[in-house]
Homo-oligomer: A and B are copies of this chain.
């Protein structure tokens, strides 16, 4: 089993293809890179790509699916440590903040993909929505377990802060983003969330 290519296991060329696509799509965007570029850097031929994927779109979907699995695994690993709920939230937040500070950081793969695929009916957009729904549910559950006010509102607040941190992480100083994000998370954990009862009255949009 030295050379690894096994009959039943997954193709080694396919893995190279997906890894290369992941790296390039994340670093440079999706629309702006062509399949020629991917097959060249993956050192496979065009035929091999279309042997494993129906087309570029399926490659994109696989890229997002791989990212989704990675993030879910990361969160699951943290939850498996069995920390107190608030500390689990902190650990997840630190994991996010570490990602933002890491060298190749280029924002949230899903937010970036959504920016390139605004059509809600598009499979790529739907993959983004699915991932985000899972993350919101997870955050809400975690914050609820940490005795945060209305868990729904706390979860939404947490996700909003994370989205902002991920979006700005490659546009500002990552160190300050980290600081701001972790500070905001502590605020959520401390106060539950803003106990604003939502007056729902203003109705005078100045514009």
Contacts and interface: CB of A to CB of B under 8 A. Distances in A.
Interface string A171-207: 1100011011111101100110110101000110111
A98 interface: yes
Contact of A132 (B172, B179, B196, B202): B172
A171 B128 contact: yes
Given A95-B207, A98-B205, A179-B198, A160 B132 contact: no
Contact of A160 (B31, B95, B177, B202): B177
Interface string A145-178: 0000000010011011111111110111000110
Interface residues of A, number: 64
Contact of A170 (B118, B159, B190, B205): B118
A186 B182 contact: no
A111 B118 contact: no
Interface of A: 27-29, 31-32, 74, 77-78, 81, 91, 94-95, 98, 106-107, 111-112, 114-119, 128-129, 132, 136, 153, 156-157, 159-168, 170-172, 176-177, 179-184, 186-187, 190-191, 193-194, 196, 198, 202-203, 205-207
